[in-house]
Amino acid sequence: MRPFIRNAVEERVGLARRVASSFWKKSGTPIPLEDLTAAALYGLVQAGHRYDAYCEERGFDSNDLSYFSVYSRKRIHGEIVEYLRSLDWVSRGTRATYKRLAALASEEDYALSDAELAERSGLKVTQVRQAKAAHEASPVALDSCTDADIPTLEMSGEGPYLAAFQEAYATLNADERLFLAYRFYLNKKLRDIALLMDRADTEIADLAQSSLLTVRAALVSRLA
């Protein structure tokens, strides 16, 4: 990213926060505003990285920043929408399967076993268990951390998604793990994390997206 474009990105951090806040208020989503803000900041950063290509594709002069405000707002909004879509890492097919199994189970006065559900639905027992595991996802917690150590994972429950999460977590770099610890274990806000890690807001947004997308990809691949 060229220096003058980076400056334009930094000048629009407030814009990203306002767009996220407006979206959050109008949509009534239960997702924390901080998470939407992280997505908005990531969209802003991506707009900076892709601005030259955007201008080249449309025959614009990339040295002219008059197009950047419109483009960055579009990228910010688009990233928020994409983030909300990405939260549902279980496929529609898997959710539809669970609904069908639930309907079958409701026809009886007793709890059907996985084998009975498989027989009545025409599915394999493994498919029944996979659908139930996706629906009954257990929470994931991070152990407390010391001043020097990044926390390890302690997970409850069972199912293929838990192993996938742990494998994905192991591939994250130290900064990504530390971000997850601050954000989801210590419940720190993005601005607080930026101060604690001595990073710019836009850098924290990059960490948020890279870590969460890695975990999501692992879950999708395991439960596809």
pLDDT 10s digits, 171-196: 888 888 888 888 877 778 887 888 88
pTM of the full structure: 0.51
pLDDT, residue 72, reads: 92
Average of per-residue pLDDT across 125-134: 78
- From the list 40, 136, 62, 48, the residue with the least C-alpha distance to 94 is 136
**Higher pLDDT residue, 73 or 95?**
73
| Token pair for 181 | 């610890």
Q: Which of 136, 184, 177 is nearest to 160 (CA)?
A: 136
Q: For residues 77 and 41, give the distance between their C-alpha atoms in angstroms, rounded to a whole number.
A: 10
Model pLDDT, residue 154? 43
- How many CB atoms are located within 10 Å of the residue 109 CB? 5
Q: Specify the residue for token string 């983030």.
A: 83
Q: Residue 144: is its pLDDT beyond 50?
A: no
Q: pLDDT averaged over the chain?
A: 78
At 107 the pLDDT is 81
Q: What is the pLDDT, as a whole number, of residue 194? A: 83
Please say whether the dihedral angle defined by the alpha carbons of residues 56, 37, 94 and 160, taken in this order, is positive or negative.
positive
pLDDT score, position 157: 46
In the predicted structure, residue 163 carries a pLDDT above the cut 60: yes
**Tell me, what's the pLDDT at 104?**
86
Using CA atoms, how far residue 202 sits from 48, 97, 124, 176, in Å, is: 11, 40, 46, 14
CB-CB contact of 204 with 38 (8 Å): yes
Of 168, 158, 170, the closest CA to residue 132 belongs to 158
CA 194 to chain centre: 18
Stronger pLDDT, 84 or 154, i.e. the higher one: 84
